[in-house]
């Protein structure tokens, strides 16, 4: 049971990594006060993707993601592994940029971004050198802390809730955030295939459901407290709402402590993504294991000139291209897995 909890914690963080600074903004921008309903629709559609990933994981459950590629596509597995690794390397870069940007903009606005990035990059490297089971244990510890902080922040905000912030209802687009949701909050579960153990398979659904519940509560709470207009003005409304959780002397310290839960989401995702990239390309040992992390670090510092450009690229390009690539890869894996299982049953 404890091992399954470790996998649930990883799934929880993988699904939530892009909610901060990306998915919430897209939901509110397109669906406004109906963002909570749009999220529910996206959740149920995303559940079908989770079932596909679970089906693929059940094929030789003892095999890692790399081994599954070799078993299913012996001739083109290297190409598919490289494409998958590049996609998740790019996602890791985006998440790490978001991490350093959050710290720089909200806490240390006079500190150079590369200093912030390096300070998080060092513990990330240390964790990357460990076995996957160690990463799972660390994720479980961070998971417990994150849930406790989430409950504290929710209790501090519940009495400032205003239901009139959700009216009028059904006046906005509900479908536009769905594809970005699949790319940023569902497809990252694909990385759980790096942990080839039977306990991992049921963790996919449980982690997805748990992360979706907390994300939905965050959407409802932020809109209910701040309203749509303020949510769109703030770059990180998830952080600014913490300022309202507690008033008085403890406000500054509480908002800093509670915002740690956001950092956990991004940090775990970046770690697992890089671990997966190294595994897929076979660079998980020796000096070559530092190549992809170094690329991520440098790219995360210089990938965007400013936040306006970043938000535009994320919304109009990345949020559509990434889900498209991952959908093709996932369907290809599912079709080949289905064919292999049918062939095995008929023989």
**Domains identified in the chain and CATH numbers:** 2-342 (1.20.1740.10)
Q: Are 188 and 91 in contact (CB under 8 A)?
A: yes
Helices and strands of the chain, counted as H and E runs: 16, 0
Alpha-carbon distance of 309 to 56, in angstroms, equals 37
The residue ranges of the chain whose pLDDT is under 70 are: 1-2, 106-108, 235-259, 306, 345-347
* Confidence at residue 63, expressed as pLDDT on a 0 to 100 scale: 84
Alpha-carbon distance of 287 to 282, in angstroms, equals 12
Rounded to 10°, the helix 132-157/113-128 angle is: 130
Cβ-based neighbour number of residue 338 at 10 Å: 13
Q: Are 58 and 200 in contact (CB under 8 A)?
A: no
Q: Are 132 and 66 in contact (CB under 8 A)?
A: no
The two tokens of residue 174 are: 């509900």
* Confidence at residue 39, expressed as pLDDT on a 0 to 100 scale: 92
* Confidence at residue 44, expressed as pLDDT on a 0 to 100 scale: 93
The two tokens of residue 232 are: 């769109």
* Confidence at residue 347, expressed as pLDDT on a 0 to 100 scale: 61
The two tokens of residue 85 are: 């690794």
How long, in residues, is the chain?
Answer: 347
* Confidence at residue 310, expressed as pLDDT on a 0 to 100 scale: 74
Alpha-carbon distance of 85 to 100, in angstroms, equals 22
């Amino acid at each position: 049971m404890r091992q399954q909890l470790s996998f649930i914690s990883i799934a929880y963080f993988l699904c939530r990594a892009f909610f901060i600074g990306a998915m919430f903004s897209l939901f509110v921008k397109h669906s406004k006060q109906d963002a909570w309903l749009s999220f529910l629709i996206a959740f149920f559609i995303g559940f079908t993707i989770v079932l596909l990933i679970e089906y693929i994981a059940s094929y030789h459950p003892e095999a890692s993601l790399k081994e599954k590629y070799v078993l299913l596509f012996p001739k083109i597995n290297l190409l598919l592994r490289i494409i998958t690794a590049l996609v998740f390397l790019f996602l890791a870069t985006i998440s790490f940029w978001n991490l350093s940007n959050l710290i720089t903009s909200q806490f240390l606005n006079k500190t150079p971004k590369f200093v912030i990035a390096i300070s998080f990059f060092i513990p990330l490297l240390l964790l990357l050198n460990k076995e996957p089971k160690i990463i799972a244990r660390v994720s479980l510890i961070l998971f417990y802390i994150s849930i406790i902080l989430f409950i504290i922040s929710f209790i501090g905000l519940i009495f400032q809730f205003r239901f009139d912030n959700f009216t009028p209802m059904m006046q906005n687009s509900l479908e536009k955030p769905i594809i970005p949701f699949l790319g940023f909050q569902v497809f990252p579960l694909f990385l759980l295939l790096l942990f080839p153990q039977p306990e991992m398979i049921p963790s996919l659904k449980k982690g997805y459901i748990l992360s979706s519940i907390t994300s939905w509560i965050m959407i409802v709470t932020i809109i209910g407290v701040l309203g749509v207009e303020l949510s769109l003005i703030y770059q990180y409304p998830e952080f600014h709402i913490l300022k309202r959780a507690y008033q008085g002397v403890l406000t500054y310290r509480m908002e800093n402590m509670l915002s740690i839960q956001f950092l956990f989401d991004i940090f775990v995702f970046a770690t697992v993504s890089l671990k997966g990239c190294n595994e897929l390309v076979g660079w998980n040992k020796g000096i070559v294991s530092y190549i992809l992390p170094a690329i991520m670090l440098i790219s995360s510092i210089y990938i965007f000139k400013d936040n306006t450009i970043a938000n535009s690229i994320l919304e109009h390009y990345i949020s559509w291209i990434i889900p498209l690539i991952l959908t093709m890869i996932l369907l290809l894996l599912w079709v080949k897995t289905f064919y292999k299982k049918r062939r095995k049953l008929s023989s």
